[in-house]
Structure 1
Amino acid sequence: MNNRLQDIQGFLKTILRGSIQPGDIALDLTAGRGRDTLFLAQLVGAEGRVHAFDVQEVALQETQRLLKEQQMAERVHLYHWDHGRLLEKVQDPVQAAMFNLGYLPGHSQEITTQAASTLAALEAVLQLLRQGGVIALTVYRGHPGGLEEAAAVEEFLSCLPRRKYSVLRGEYINQLPNAPYWILVQKNKGDTE
Structure 2
Amino acid sequence: MIKAKYLTKITDINKLYLENILNEGDIVVDATMGNGYDTKYLAQKVGKDGFVYSFDVQESALKSTEKKLKKENLEDRVKLVLDGHENMDKYIDKEVSCVLFNLGYLPRADHMIITKPETTIQAIKHSLNLLKPHGIISISIYTGHPGGIEEKNSIYDFIKDLDQSEFNVLESGFVNQINNPPQLVLIEKKKEYI
TM-score range, shorter chain: over 0.9
Residue of structure 1 aligned with 2:24, choices 6, 19, 22: 22
After superposition, residues 6-155 of structure 1 pair within 5 angstroms as 6-155=8-157
Cα distance change of structure 1 residues 149 and 77 upon mapping to structure 2, 3 Å threshold: same
- Find the aligned partners of 1:41 and 1:84 in 2 and give their Cα distance: 21
- Find the aligned partners of 1:105 and 1:177 in 2 and give their Cα distance: 17
- Find the aligned partners of 2:18 and 2:28 in 1 and give their Cα distance: 10
- Find the aligned partners of 2:111 and 2:178 in 1 and give their Cα distance: 19
The alignment covers a number of residue pairs equal to 192
- Per-residue deviation, residues 68-110 of structure 1 (Å, max 9, x unmatched): 1111111100000011011111111000010011000111110
Cα distance change of structure 1 residues 91 and 12 upon mapping to structure 2, 3 Å threshold: same
Residue 171 of structure 1: aligned partner: 173
Three-state SS of the structure 2 residue aligned to 1:5 is coil
- Per-residue deviation, residues 123-163 of structure 1 (Å, max 9, x unmatched): 00000101110111110111111100000011111111001
CA RMSD, Structure 1 to Structure 2 (Å): 1.4
Cα distance change of structure 1 residues 43 and 146 upon mapping to structure 2, 3 Å threshold: same
Task: Could you tell me which runs of 5 or more consecutive residues in structure 1 were left unpaired when the two chains were aligned.
Answer: none
How far is the alpha carbon of 1:3 from its aligned partner? 2.6
Three-state SS of the structure 2 residue aligned to 1:6 is coil
Task: Could you tell me which runs of 5 or more consecutive residues in structure 2 were left unpaired when the two chains were aligned.
Answer: none
How far is the alpha carbon of 1:192 from its aligned partner? 8.8
| Aligned amino acid, residue 29 of structure 1 | A
TM-score, length-normalised on structure 2?
0.95
How far is the alpha carbon of 1:170 from its aligned partner? 1.2
How far is the alpha carbon of 1:171 from its aligned partner? 1.2
Cα distance change of structure 1 residues 163 and 177 upon mapping to structure 2, 3 Å threshold: farther
- Find the aligned partners of 1:192 and 1:137 in 2 and give their Cα distance: 19
TM-score, length-normalised on structure 1?
0.95
Residue 156 of structure 1: aligned partner: 158
- Find the aligned partners of 1:192 and 1:24 in 2 and give their Cα distance: 19
How far is the alpha carbon of 1:176 from its aligned partner? 1.3
Question: Which region of structure 1 is more displaced relative to structure 2, 2-11 or 160-169?
Answer: 2-11
Could you tell me the percent identity over the aligned residues? 36
- Find the aligned partners of 2:128 and 2:6 in 1 and give their Cα distance: 27
| Aligned amino acid, residue 142 of structure 1 | G
